[in-house]
């Protein structure tokens, strides 16, 4: 698959076929793609927690908040929750550029997952203190984001921005998730 197709297919999926497992080895392959990606000053300050068991997933899920624009939606219901997670941690003592490294790593993970037919969502709204306790994360590491992964159970479409919705993503009456994007002409200056 060519890169453009992977990028288009790589949407923020928030509903999954929870009963379709994601193998631990698949998660390791996704993290390996992140490991091989660029790192500011090559400091490599990121670490990862991978989860693909229902028991560990159940410890992660209650510490996440889903879809800020969908105010009446509390997140995926049982049966539609992710079947795997990758938690990205950063060590601020090693680098002041954690956000850059995290963005690069998260995109690499999601593209690798997309290539394998999986969907995912980067979640930054995390109950960090609770997660640090649950996983005994050392004090010198902070939780940057959690990536939810699984077999997508929803359709996500890209469309042009319309005045009625602006940039806010939304779901129609059939549950299709619409993601407005600015035009190429609008984002290129000069």
Residue 40 exposure: Cα atoms within 13 Å on the Cβ side: 15
* Percentage of the chain lying above the pLDDT 70 cut: 99
Q: What is the pLDDT of residues 160-184, one digit of tens each?
A: 998 877 898 888 999 899 999 999 9
pLDDT band for position 30 (cuts 50, 70, 90) = very high
CB neighbours (10 Å) of residue 180? 16
* Percentage of the chain lying above the pLDDT 90 cut: 86
Q: What is the pLDDT of residues 31-68, one digit of tens each?
A: 999 999 999 999 999 999 999 999 999 999 999 998 77
Report the C-alpha gap between 11 and 127 in whole angstroms. Answer: 23
Cβ 87 vs Cβ 63: under 8 Å: no
CB neighbours (10 Å) of residue 132? 18
Give Cα 149 distance to the centre of its chain.
7
**Which residue ranges form the domains of the chain, and what is each CATH number?**
3-154 (3.40.109.10), 155-190 (2.20.180.10)
């Amino acid at each position: 698959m060519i890169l453009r197709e992977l990028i288009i297919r790589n949407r923020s999926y928030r509903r999954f076929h929870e009963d379709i497992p994601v193998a631990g080895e698949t998660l390791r392959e996704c993290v390996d793609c992140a490991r091989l990606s660029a790192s500011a000053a090559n400091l490599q300050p990121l670490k990862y927690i991978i989860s693909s068991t229902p028991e560990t997933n159940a410890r992660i899920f209650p510490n996440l908040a889903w879809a800020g624009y969908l105010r009446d939606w509390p997140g995926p219901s049982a049966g539609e929750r992710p079947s795997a997670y990758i938690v990205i941690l950063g060590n601020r003592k090693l680098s002041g550029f954690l956000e850059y490294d995290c963005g690069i790593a998260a995109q690499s993970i999601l593209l690798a997952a997309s290539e394998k037919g999986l969907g995912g969502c980067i979640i930054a709204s995390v109950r960090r203190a609770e997660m640090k306790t649950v996983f005994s994360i050392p004090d010198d590491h902070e939780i940057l984001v959690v990536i939810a992964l699984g077999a997508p159970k929803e359709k996500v479409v890209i469309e042009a921005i319309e005045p009625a919705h602006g940039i806010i993503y939304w779901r129609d009456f059939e549950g299709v998730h619409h993601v407005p994007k600015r035009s190429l002409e609008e984002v290129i200056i000069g």
